[in-house]
Structure 1
């Protein structure tokens, strides 16, 4: 009983507890490398291609050092389907490719960019893409409107990285 009433006893008990925690931390395996989960989007892209009547676009290959980490199909405005493919870039920023068959002028590009103000154009594979920038969100966006579909590349990545993703986009053939 007397042992628990002295400062020395409390100090010993505290030391024993800290030693046990320290031993536990030393024995527990720890990874010092970043691990970004990779998500294959090939099935999502194929399902989207079957679900929509227009020409679907997708990356011919992922840019070097990029990790595809999300993908989904959602319902957009007026019942239009929207495809989203998310990436962690080589510089560990965020980039996303999205496309929708909303009617031109329906605002899909504006909603994705969080802005309706163009800041110029970017030539990607000889094609002009409209540039948008939302400073308060550090969001850059490239938009290309084609007959029947709007393509959007957006995120916190810098302009060259966004252009790199846009450059990989190709038409995906319809399944037979």
Structure 2
């Protein structure tokens, strides 16, 4: 018995026991072969922005088919309101809608697009959008400067995917204030 607990044979037996344990663990542990992309509900951010943002809010209606909204973050820092809404596209690329009233608008757009160089312009849903491309980051951006805010649609998604997101954007109405009835 001593020859299996010492020396080379002991090492082989110990390694065999460990490998059997690992194989059993792998068979017993459940494994998922499907992709799991977290989905977020951004309707609360839209409702808060509609109420609080000093500019008209644009949101996708409807979200392009088979896209998954996976991040939403609205901030108000030092009076600057910014909203970032991220998506995994149907092709599993990244696209993001960013809107802000940060000044200067051109500087904000350049920072979000990671470039200040326009590569062209395109008409989407009757509106003119500036195209920007940063090759080393494989980042495409569509920029629209509006009165009071800047809208940027950006990401590693292809131009047609970014165009689909930009064309789905609808201006969200401000909530109507209902006056509280006065007691008689």
Give the TM bin, normalised by the shorter chain.
over 0.9
Show the counterpart of 1:95: 95
Q: TM-score, normalised on structure 1?
A: 0.92
Show the counterpart of 2:179: none
Query: Which sits farther off after the overlay, 160-169 or 143-152?
Result: 143-152
Q: CA deviation at 1:8?
A: 2.4
Show the counterpart of 1:74: 75
Q: Deviations over 1:37-74 (max 9, x none)?
A: 00110001111221112211111121111110001012
In the aligned structure 1, how far is the partner of 2:27 from the partner of 2:175?
Answer: 54
Q: Deviations over 1:94-117 (max 9, x none)?
A: 110011123464521111111111
Higher Rg of the two aligned structures: 2
In structure 2, do the counterparts of structure 1 residues 120 and 106 end up closer, same or farther at CA, with 3 Å as the change threshold? closer
Q: CA deviation at 1:12?
A: 2.0
In the aligned structure 2, how far is the partner of 1:105 from the partner of 1:7?
Answer: 71
Q: CA deviation at 1:136?
A: 1.2
Mapped contact 1:99–1:151 kept (Cα < 8 A): yes
Mapped contact 1:104–1:148 kept (Cα < 8 A): no
Q: TM-score, normalised on structure 2?
A: 0.89
In the aligned structure 1, how far is the partner of 2:111 from the partner of 2:63?
Answer: 25
Structure 1 counterpart SS, 2:5: helix
In the aligned structure 1, how far is the partner of 2:42 from the partner of 2:105?
Answer: 28
Q: Deviations over 1:137-161 (max 9, x none)?
A: 1111001112222111000111100
Structure 2 counterpart SS, 1:107: helix
Mapped contact 1:103–1:148 kept (Cα < 8 A): no
Mapped contact 1:56–1:171 kept (Cα < 8 A): yes
In the aligned structure 2, how far is the partner of 1:79 from the partner of 1:110?
Answer: 20
In structure 2, do the counterparts of structure 1 residues 116 and 106 end up closer, same or farther at CA, with 3 Å as the change threshold? closer
Show the counterpart of 2:22: 21
- Pairing 1:47–2:48 present: yes
Show the counterpart of 2:83: 83
Q: CA RMSD in A?
A: 1.6
The alignment covers a number of residue pairs equal to 175
